[in-house]
């Protein structure tokens, strides 16, 4: 039996919901086993940039930096409509005055940061911090504005913050495509046969999770202790969808367009390798 593969995903409800069947033996893994590592999205991005993990969730912005070593899987993505990052502030102000202001971002390699740079390349004053600290930084005046992701979409109004820009809506209006936030990648050196098994197992895990939504409830709550059940459910409902089981043609076009624009803007290096691992 081969050694376990290292598997990285976040403690966010959409990831724990999808990966629970895979790491708890509820779907056929073709004899593969996994040592999971749960980290916030930017930590996972940086681990992938360093080549630490065999299989991992990453932001699609990070994918642009790791395509030589990792290829994308067709299952497990967070991609859709009406689910993009939001730019928020303590008080509403005109977006034209955003230039010159300090903006909190959830990490250099996040899609949220990439989208903001594509929206306005002149923006340059960014402060990186864990995504769950951004709203507090905006509220206390440590930064002028912040880009929020994950469950913050559902809670920011309760903190008295105002939406300045929906980067997902901007992207959809610009391209007509869904917004690609994050996906699952595998180390290309694992080989086509192993990667195919992983991809099939992950697709089966997503299907199992959607067919048995209560199965992972305790596991999800263990990793989302500060999140209400209502926010957990809304989070899963927004980020786990048909694209999560199979990207399909539209999903692939959305990812390719994001990377094309990132290359054109000089944010990620070009690559001639195929997008997918197999």
Could you give the residue numbers annotated as active site?
150
How many residues would you count in the chain? 278
Pairing verdict, β 5-9 and 55-59: parallel
Q: Would the annotation count 57 as a binding residue?
A: yes
Cα separation, 259 vs 227, whole angstroms = 32
Among candidate residues 239, 256, 204, the one with its CA nearest the CA of residue 57: 239
Burial 236-258 (b: 16+ CB within 10 A, else e): bebbbbebbbebeeebbbbbebb
Contacts 24+ apart (CB under 8 A), 211-215: 212/21, 213/17, 215/20, 215/21, 215/26
Query: Which residues, 6 or more positions from 66, have their beta carbon under 8 angstroms from its beta carbon?
Result: 48, 49, 51, 58, 185
In the sheet with 86-89, reading across from the earlier edge strand, the strands are: 126-128, 103-105, 145-148, 86-89, 162-166
Q: Residue 58 annotated as binding?
A: yes
Give CA–CA dist 203/65, Å, rounded.
Answer: 25
Q: Which residues pair with 7 in a beta bridge?
A: 36, 55
Give the containing element (helix H, strand E) for 234.
helix 229-239
112 annotated ligand binder: yes
Rounded-to-integer distance, Cα 18 and Cα 50, Å: 25
Annotation: binding site for substrate = 57-59, 111-112
């Amino acid at each position: 039996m081969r050694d376990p593969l290292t598997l990285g995903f976040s403690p966010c409800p959409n990831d724990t919901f999808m990966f629970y069947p895979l790491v708890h033996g509820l779907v056929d893994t073709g004899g593969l086993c996994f040592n999971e590592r749960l980290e916030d999205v930017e930590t996972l991005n940086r681990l992938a940039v360093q080549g630490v993990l065999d299989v991992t969730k990453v932001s699609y912005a990070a994918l642009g930096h790791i395509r030589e070593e990792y290829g994308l899987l067709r299952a497990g993505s967070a991609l859709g409509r009406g689910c993009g990052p939001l730019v928020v502030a303590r008080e509403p102000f005109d977006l034209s005055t955003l230039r010159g202001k300090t903006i909190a971002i959830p990490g250099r390699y996040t899609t949220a940061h990439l989208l903001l740079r594509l929206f306005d390349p002149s923006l340059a004053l960014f402060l990186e911090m864990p995504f769950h600290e951004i709203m507090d930084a905006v509220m206390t005046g440590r930064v002028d504005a912040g880009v929020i992701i994950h469950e913050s979409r559902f809670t920011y109004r309760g903190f008295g913050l105002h939406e300045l820009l929906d980067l997902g809506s901007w992207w959809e209006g610009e391209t007509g495509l869904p917004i690609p936030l994050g996906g699952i990648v595998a180390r290309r050196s694992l080989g086509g046969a192993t990667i195919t098994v992983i991809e099939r197992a992950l697709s089966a895990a997503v299907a199992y999770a959607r067919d048995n939504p209560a199965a992972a409830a305790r596991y999800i709550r263990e990793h989302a202790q500060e999140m209400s059940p209502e926010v957990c459910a809304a989070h899963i409902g927004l980020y786990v969808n048909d694209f999560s089981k199979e990207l399909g043609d539209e999903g692939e076009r959305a990812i390719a367009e994001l990377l094309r624009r990132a290359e054109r803007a000089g944010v990620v290096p070009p690559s001639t390798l195929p997008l997918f691992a197999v």
